[in-house]
Structure 1
Amino acid sequence: MSGMVINEMKGDLLLCSWGDTLQAEQEEHRLNTPERIRDALIEWKEKYNLAGVLWRQERWLDKFANIHPHAYNKVSKYGEAAPQAEGYEITHSVDDAVVACEAAREAGIKIFCYIDMFDEGQPFHVDSWNNNHYYWESKFFAKHPEFYACDRTWQNKHWGVPEYAYDQVRDYKCREELAYLVDNYSWDGVYISTRGHRLSAVNGDQYGFNEPIVSAFAERYGVDILTQNFDLEAWRRLRGEFVTQYIREVRTLCEERGLELGIGVPPGDYFGPPLGNLYLDWHTWVQDRLIDFIVVGHANIVGRHLRFGYGYLNSYFEGEFGLPPLPKILANDYAPLCQQNQVGLWASLMIRQRLAQVYGRPYTNEMLRGIPNLNGLQWSWASKGDKMLTVDLGNAPWASDLAPEGV
């Protein structure tokens, strides 16, 4: 492990979703044994100019989630092989976090515990983003579905999306869930992901009317948002304050344990699809140094079948709706503030790839690397076709599963 702090390091970040590697098309590419995990990390360190690895661990799934029995069916209802069954079984038999942390030490590379903010799964019977059943849900939220974001009628829930205005939610996510993951493994830091496998809100302001938000808004503005007209922007920003409060609490936990903290976000000042017009106060996170680094363009789930509603203030799902061009927002907004406050800045290839291949934006990796004060790019191991989204992606485009039909 490098002795440098992450914000001073130059090089790329690799995001590895271990659970996805278990479904690689070619068996030899599946990181389904401790030896394969170790060999992969050492190979990546030697082959690529990496500043760190963002390890999307499955200890959370093993300890904190209810997994539906159908997840272990080896044959689907259509009589086809169901590759996810082996993956779920392996998550119970291989402790990927132990192996990955040990391999990172051997390779001399920083490794961050990837955790989700808005991806708690959902009940098996409700509609999902990909029109299929969802196999798992957080035990905590299955027991307390009232803590999911809800609409103005209190009848509809945004499954899988916590409302951080609840003290109980922040305490559970930080002091129980995250504390377990960092106290039992030897990570160098924590990486908060704000993407999620969620069905998008029908409109950008559909959810966020839970009781703590109602009470806080009434106390501050004297208005009942359930029965009266109200200032939408004030409401969006109030919800965002509770997200920032959670970030502060995670920062405190990390400082107590000597851990660095990073976060991945979509570009712009609102989270956009699938969450809604929830205010994303990245300016405060950087200015108050609540984070050590930020990855811009760490996208929410994408795909040709995604339904993303209407009424969003900014959305990269529709190109760059409400947003400046990606290179400009990185160079003009993020880079100066991050440099001023000594916060590391990385650009995610996930958004660059989507904008280039689906919307024809002429963005390349080389273009992003040329942005002053950018620490590097963040790319991913991808199980689709067993491909690695590497630093040469901009010069070697490949057929994308993100493209719409006919493209």
Structure 2
Amino acid sequence: MKGRSVSSNNMIRCSVALTGIAGFWALMLAHGTPPHRAPKHQDAVPGTLSMYVSVPDSHYDPIWEPLDSNATIASFFERIANVQKVSKVFWRGAQGENYVNLGIHRKENPSRFEFYSVWERYLYDTVGVNRIAVQEAHRRGVQLYMMASLFDFGASPEAEYWDTLPYGVEDATLASHPEWKPIDRFGERRQPGPYELSIPAARAYLVKRFTDQAVNGGYDGLFFYTYMENYATRFPDEFGYSDEAVAEFKQRYGVDPRKETFDVQKWRDLKGEYVSQFFRELSKAFHAKGKKLTVALSAANPNLPQEWPLSGGRVAVGATMDWQRWLQEGSIDELCVMGGTADAGKALVRKALPFRKSESISVTLLTDRPFSPDMQALVAEGAHLTGWGAPGQQMLRHNLKAVPAAGVRAGDWKDRSEALARIVRHEIKPEPSEVEKDIDDENPIVRRQALRARARLGPASANVFAGRLSDSEPSVRVAAIEALGMSGDAAAAPLILDRLRGDTNWIEKEVAVKAFVALRGVAQDQVLAALKDPSANVRQVAVRAIMGWKDKENTFFDQLRPLAQSDPDEVTRYYALQAILPIPDPASWDITIAGLDDPSSTVRSQATKNVASFASRLSGDRRKKAFAILKEQFGRYGQGSTLPDADWAWRNLGKALVRFGPEGSAALEAFRTQKNDPVLAFRAYLALYVPFSTGKFSDSSLEEDKRVHDTYSPGIR
């Protein structure tokens, strides 16, 4: 079969909408035969099948398999070990735990802040999901590898992502050791995301960090993917000009890459040597402790790090990935082909197999159809396969019984859960009463799926779902809120509101927003009344639900106005400013402009983004006032600024000033050319000439970067 793209645009849009997080994962898989004409699936050859499990995505979006308790994790490993015959799991939970305990989280991005500092911290530190996973995997003979990005350790707060600044999490060690961040040719800007691997001290730190984590966490190895999730790199060779790398390049070739035109391929080859050296050092430490190392590359560009998104994004680090040498030396124990078309993936696997130092080194292909005959044929040639443990994938459904509609309750919990999942997928439609019996099943996976399935069989009394709001399992409570939102029963609203007033959590609030959007037709008045609730959680959810109603008039402006102006909770004020942004009423502009002086940096951040959105429509005194405040505030972010958002808020302010047209650009030019504050001058230069946008890459090149720098940069004096 001719190779085809490993993902559709629909999948990309879906993943952006569902995760935004901790992650936009956007994994592109090598496909087997399409399901509508698939031959009979084959079981995996023992010891050849792994699974890629993106744990933070499971914690972020309720359509993923729940991995948030002892019971759900035990059930997950029981199924994949006994039914799908998985022998190894690449577990992204270790990266999630690092983001929690080794990361800096900034409150000015409220959703990310609560996700990492409250919800994820509870799951990793209190529940102990990674500890449970190690235990449940090993008791079933499954190896568990921790997962990390080779080049992505979070990002400094000014880095753009899918959502609002500041970036959700920054590695605390990188923040305290900025000299370990890759630097640009001019010695002025640091790259958000990676450690500079040409610096021996940085490599040594990472070797110790990962070795200690693997040993102390009980993991069997480490899986590195090689893409980086932020939009702060404009071209692959923008950063990485450390003293060590530059000195070595000059010694070899007599050229200073910081100042002279240089051979880009030779430079990338040198940068790749430092990656290879890091793998040698890490593998030595790992092998001494009985641990193994897996590295992922894309079949689309195997000699460079993976693109992000893998569907045709950008390589963030210009370094040659010398995978042939890694396999020959044994400095890695496994190469994972992750990204590219089916044909390209198979071809790279076949090309890589002969390079192995020994057959103990594996080459694996990440695919969404590991049980298809064409993929199993690849195993016969010596390859391994890795399946994608995401919603709707063949990986999680293989070998489960196709229980008919009349037998929803037949079989063990795994088959019952799959039967209920078929209802969710609209493949079967039993009587609602049959499904309702499973809402009280002893297994939490079945209870969760029963709630989701019953909700898709049509309207129901809220009482059908109400009892599960106090379930001991987080994923079941979430499914109950989701089901109540789909019930069409006005009685659902007070039940959800009562839950939000209690010991709720981040994911319950997220699902409650969607539930109240769905319940608008029967519960609008209850949601509006909730704007005055004593609970900040309730008010936040109510405001966001009203945003989700997407009312094209200013119907709810009077109700939202007091929350945007003076709610005692800064996060509620933040969301209320978001909610009034689309309202075409100058009074809403006045509230936003007043928000520029809010005592909360969180609220000021949202107010600044609001003003940037409608700056072109402002006129007269209102325009003068907004412009004056923005200009004055940008001036606060110079040398010695002690503001809590000093490292990044100038980016938002600069964007807003630019939206004022020539007047705003002139103000930034004045800041750039003044001589009293070099930090302020440099930030004005970046705002004008090195701009970034939310949700997309900015473009440049070696030549253009040098031209802009030499023409406009005031330098770091």
Residue 44 (structure 1) aligns with: 80
Residue 53 (structure 2) aligns with: 16
Q: 1:379 is matched by which residue type in structure 2?
A: G
The answer to whether structure 1 residue 281 and structure 2 residue 317 are counterparts is no
* Secondary structure class of the residue paired with 2:256: coil
Correspondent of 1:344 among 346, 358, 362: 362
1:40 offset after TM fit, Å? Answer: 1.0
Give CA deviations for 1:298-352 in whole Å, capped at 9, x if unaligned: x5xxxxxxxxxxxxxxxx5xx79xxx83332322x212223865421110127x9
* Secondary structure class of the residue paired with 1:15: strand
Q: Is the 8 A contact 1:347 1:377 kept in 2?
A: yes
Correspondent of 1:390 among 391, 395, 400: 395
Q: Is the 8 A contact 2:105 2:116 kept in 1?
A: no
Residue 240 (structure 2) aligns with: 208
> Relative to 1, partners in 2 of residues 1:339 and 1:170: Cα closer, same or farther, differing over 3 Å?
closer
> Relative to 1, partners in 2 of residues 1:163 and 1:105: Cα closer, same or farther, differing over 3 Å?
same
> Relative to 1, partners in 2 of residues 1:144 and 1:339: Cα closer, same or farther, differing over 3 Å?
closer
Residue 160 (structure 1) aligns with: 193
> Relative to 1, partners in 2 of residues 1:115 and 1:261: Cα closer, same or farther, differing over 3 Å?
same
Correspondent of 1:270 among 300, 304, 322: 304
Q: Highest relative contact order (Cα 8 Å, sep 6+), 1 or 2?
A: 1
Give CA deviations for 1:248-270 in whole Å, capped at 9, x if unaligned: 11111111111122222223212
Correspondent of 1:150 among 165, 173, 183: 183
> Relative to 1, partners in 2 of residues 1:64 and 1:219: Cα closer, same or farther, differing over 3 Å?
same
Q: Is the 8 A contact 2:88 2:143 kept in 1?
A: yes
Residue 21 (structure 2) aligns with: none
Residue 120 (structure 1) aligns with: 153
**Alignment size in residue pairs:** 344
* Secondary structure class of the residue paired with 1:255: helix
Mapping of residues 236-247 of structure 1, within 5 Å: 236-247=268-279
1:129 offset after TM fit, Å? Answer: 5.6
Mapping of residues 63-142 of structure 1, within 5 Å: 63-70=101-108, 73=111, 86-128=119-161, 133-142=166-175
Correspondent of 1:174 among 182, 190, 207: 207
* Secondary structure class of the residue paired with 1:69: coil
Distance 2:362 2:161 in 1: 35
Q: Is the 8 A contact 1:71 1:85 kept in 2?
A: no
Distance 1:75 1:255 in 2: 37
Percent identical residues: 19
> Relative to 1, partners in 2 of residues 1:83 and 1:212: Cα closer, same or farther, differing over 3 Å?
closer
Distance 2:288 2:357 in 1: 25
Q: 2:216 is matched by which residue type in structure 1?
A: N
> Relative to 1, partners in 2 of residues 1:325 and 1:186: Cα closer, same or farther, differing over 3 Å?
closer
Mapping of residues 52-63 of structure 1, within 5 Å: 52-56=88-92, 57=94, 58-63=96-101
Q: Is the 8 A contact 2:147 2:224 kept in 1?
A: yes
> Relative to 1, partners in 2 of residues 1:9 and 1:174: Cα closer, same or farther, differing over 3 Å?
farther
1:237 offset after TM fit, Å? Answer: 0.6
Give CA deviations for 1:44-88 in whole Å, capped at 9, x if unaligned: 111213120111123322332112235665999xxxxx7996345
Higher mean Cα deviation, 141-150 or 278-287?
Answer: 141-150
Q: 2:362 is matched by which residue type in structure 1?
A: G
Cα RMSD (Å) of the superposition?
3.2
1:243 offset after TM fit, Å? Answer: 0.4
* Secondary structure class of the residue paired with 2:62: coil
The answer to whether structure 1 residue 251 and structure 2 residue 251 are counterparts is no
1:109 offset after TM fit, Å? Answer: 1.1
> Relative to 1, partners in 2 of residues 1:10 and 1:105: Cα closer, same or farther, differing over 3 Å?
closer
Give CA deviations for 1:218-239 in whole Å, capped at 9, x if unaligned: 1222221111222221111110
1:131 offset after TM fit, Å? Answer: 6.3
The answer to whether structure 1 residue 189 and structure 2 residue 221 are counterparts is yes
Residue 353 (structure 2) aligns with: 335
Structure 1 or 2: more strand by fraction: 1
1:138 offset after TM fit, Å? Answer: 0.6
Q: Is the 8 A contact 1:60 1:181 kept in 2?
A: no
Q: 1:380 is matched by which residue type in structure 2?
A: W
Q: Is the 8 A contact 1:72 1:85 kept in 2?
A: no
Q: 1:249 is matched by which residue type in structure 2?
A: E
Distance 1:117 1:134 in 2: 19
* Secondary structure class of the residue paired with 1:278: coil
Q: 2:377 is matched by which residue type in structure 1?
A: G
Residue 266 (structure 2) aligns with: 234
Correspondent of 1:367 among 367, 370, 374: 374
Q: Which runs of 5+ in 2 are unaligned?
A: 1-44, 308-313, 399-424, 426-717
> Relative to 1, partners in 2 of residues 1:26 and 1:231: Cα closer, same or farther, differing over 3 Å?
closer
> Relative to 1, partners in 2 of residues 1:128 and 1:146: Cα closer, same or farther, differing over 3 Å?
farther
The answer to whether structure 1 residue 225 and structure 2 residue 229 are counterparts is no
Q: 2:172 is matched by which residue type in structure 1?
A: K
Q: 2:365 is matched by which residue type in structure 1?
A: A
- TM-score, normalised to structure 1, is 0.75
Distance 1:60 1:49 in 2: 29
1:104 offset after TM fit, Å? Answer: 1.0
1:387 offset after TM fit, Å? Answer: 3.4
> Relative to 1, partners in 2 of residues 1:182 and 1:342: Cα closer, same or farther, differing over 3 Å?
closer
Distance 1:225 1:97 in 2: 44
1:391 offset after TM fit, Å? Answer: 7.7
1:148 offset after TM fit, Å? Answer: 2.0
* Secondary structure class of the residue paired with 2:332: coil
- TM-score, normalised to structure 2, is 0.44
> Relative to 1, partners in 2 of residues 1:214 and 1:182: Cα closer, same or farther, differing over 3 Å?
same
Q: Is the 8 A contact 2:334 2:361 kept in 1?
A: yes
Q: 2:345 is matched by which residue type in structure 1?
A: L
